[in-house]
Chains A and B, each alone.
Chain A
Amino acid sequence: MQIYLPIAEVSVNAFLLLGLGGLVGILSGMFGVGGGFLMTPLLFFIGIPPAVAVATEANQIVASSFSGVLAHLRRKTVDLRMGTVLLIGGLVGAALGVLLFNYLKSLGQVDLLVRLCYVVFLGVIGGLMFIESLNAIRKTNRGTALPKRKKHGLIHKLPFKMRFRVSGLYISVIPPLLVGLCVGVLAAIMGVGGGFIMVPAMIYLLGMPTKVVVGTSLFQIIFVTGFTTMLHATTNYTVDVMLAVLLLVGGVIGAQIGTRIGVKMKAEQLRILLAMMVLAVCGKLAFDLLVMPSELYSVGKAGGH
């Protein structure tokens, strides 16, 4: 069944979109990531204009993170105070990201920027995850436990300290603000919630306990992606509600199935699978940038997307 998307102005198969939403939903349920970093490139591949894909994906992430954060609130695994600090940084970052996005759009380089961001981030994170889970598998095979790390460094010497009860931390607000800022910029440019960057940053840079990380990350992602959606909707007119609804219906169902599959698999195997998938998407995008295109010219709407 073909559906004409009013903003993207292309006609796509509704079941393909539901299926993509479902597939990414399964993966996000299995691995505990938002899935935006996989969905946006997939939308590029099926011919959605990049500007529309990025803006609409931000809107879809609002839905999936809202659904997720409700579950975490029930379990009281959300550090609202930390979330608010990250959020302040995130909103500033999102505004900067949209400004940068619009500036590069006027130069005709927005596709390049979005693709480069994807290649770099997917490559780095996929690579690190792959190596880390290979090591973890090797260690469990040898029967030794993972060493526990403790962080003492620069972070504890910074001013403006604040107590975060739920996380059990007493640290300066500067590092969380900076982490929020970076993720906000990425959210605006890449159309992702930033969970796949936020979660490692919270664990390794801020030293937050793992059990509150996902809920807190989801909490602030709702606001950052909501803000990003509004900015894209009012400055670029690129949010396609029809596309968002189709993706979100599939995603919500897929996430529930994925959670159940995820319970039955080993964590290291899951992470290696996710890493390989991330690297595959990265490889495809990098290939397109590096290999000479068959058509050197591209045609776009003047001044539009």
Chain B
Amino acid sequence: MRWVLALFLMVLPAAAEEVVLGLSQKEVAITTSFDGSEILIFGAIKRDAPPPPGQLGVLVTIAGPAEPVSVRRKERRYGIWVNTEEVQLEGAPSYYAVATSAPLDDVLSIRDNLEHRVTVPSLLRSLTVPSSVLDASAYVAALIRVRQDAGIYQELEGQVVVDQESLFRTRIALPAALTEGAYQTRILLTRDGAVVSRYDTTIEVRKVGLERWLYSMSRENPFWYGIMSLAIAIAAGWGASAVFSLIRN
């Protein structure tokens, strides 16, 4: 994971300032010993002219693949707390992190936040909510709260280091419980809160090796997967009994 793959790609050739990006890795492999991963995102700001006026801001976001989730509310029934209402939400990313170079309000205006959907609340504003639900916003708020507490949604204010208005870098820690898929990565460059340049790329997260094999077997050949599980259990039980009776004799 330590090998460095630098990507030098250019976008928006007309802009006065552009992002040139490097990633410490283009892929995250979930192996048996996977315990989360830290991605180093670094790059430079390319200019044709001297820096324009206004405060520079750099924002980096990583979004995991969206998958439908169900949010359930507990209520007290007959003295115990049970799940009652359930709302299905679609379009919420399975992971989301925003890292900024300064406090968020200083580097991003409200208008641009809504347009580029940068912070978690503005990202989740367009969630598909069933029309039958009255207090849908309470469920969306609960989803954000639960996932922020679990570290699945992160706001890393001031975590992007900018050197001499031209080089930037940040580290984003991916948790151990990751969903597979393409992680959309964006770098936004702002001047006085307005986005002046944007760069998009993806990081692939994949189960590999034994993890991949077991997972796909359990979905594609569930019968043989079950038989294999039983065979392992019976072999282990028989082996243990044989070994310990040998020790006793």
- B-contacting residues of A (Cβ < 8 Å)? 1-4, 6-7, 9-11, 59-60, 62-68, 70-71, 108-109, 111-112, 116, 226, 229-230, 232-234, 237, 239, 241-242, 244-245, 248-249, 252, 256, 289-293, 295-303
Q: Cβ of B215: which chain A residues have Cβ within 8 Å of it?
A: 6-7
Contact A67–B82 (Cβ < 8 Å) = no
Q: How many A-B contacts are there with CB distance less than 8 Å?
A: 179
Given contacts A302-B88, A303-B68, contact A4 B34 (CB under 8 A): yes
**Contact (A244, B233) CB under 8 Å given A67-B238, A297-B72:** yes
8 Å CB contacts to A: which residues of B67-93? 67-76, 79-83, 86, 88-89
B214 interface hit (Cβ, 8 Å)? yes
The answer to whether B74 touches A297, judged by C-beta atoms less than 8 angstroms apart, is: yes
Chain B contact residues, CB within 8 Å of chain A: 30-36, 67-76, 79-83, 86, 88-89, 139, 142-143, 145-147, 149, 176-177, 179, 207, 210-211, 214-215, 218-219, 222-223, 225-230, 232-234, 236-238, 240-241, 244-245
Known contacts A242-B214, A290-B79; is-contact A298 B74 (Cβ 8 Å): yes
* CB-contact partner of A4 in B33, B226, B237, under 8 A: B33
The distance from the CB of A36 to the nearest CB of chain B, in whole angstroms, is 13
A256 touching B244 in the complex, CB below 8 Å, given contacts A2-B35, A234-B223, A302-B69: yes
Q: Identify the 3 closest CB pairs spanning chains A and B, nearest first.
A: A66-B237, A233-B226, A11-B176
Using known A-B contacts A59-B229, A63-B237, A70-B241, determine if residue A293 contacts B176 with beta carbons closer than 8 Å: no
Question: B141: nearest residue on chain A (CB-CB)?
Answer: A297
CA–CA, A292 to B219, complex, Å?
A: 37
**A229 lies within 8 A of B229 (CB):** yes
A-B contact pairs, 19 of them (CB 8 A): A1-B33, A4-B31, A4-B33, A7-B214, A9-B179, A63-B233, A111-B83, A112-B83, A229-B230, A234-B222, A237-B222, A239-B218, A241-B228, A252-B240, A289-B81, A290-B81, A292-B76, A299-B71, A303-B68
The answer to whether A241 touches B146, judged by C-beta atoms less than 8 angstroms apart, is: no
Q: Which of B145, B147, B237 gathers the greatest number of chain A CB atoms within 10 Å? A: B237
Interchain nearest-CB distance for B194 vs A (Å): 34
Known A230-B230, A233-B226, A299-B143; further 5 A-B contacts with Cβ < 8 A:
A7-B214, A68-B241, A237-B222, A239-B226, A303-B68
Hey, which chain B residues are within 8 Å of A229, CB to CB? 226, 229-230, 233
B175 → A minimal CB distance (Å): 9
Whether the Cβ atoms of B238 and A70 lie closer than 8 Å is yes
Please name the residue on chain A nearest to B139 by beta carbon.
A297
Bound CA–CA A9/B207 (angstroms): 10
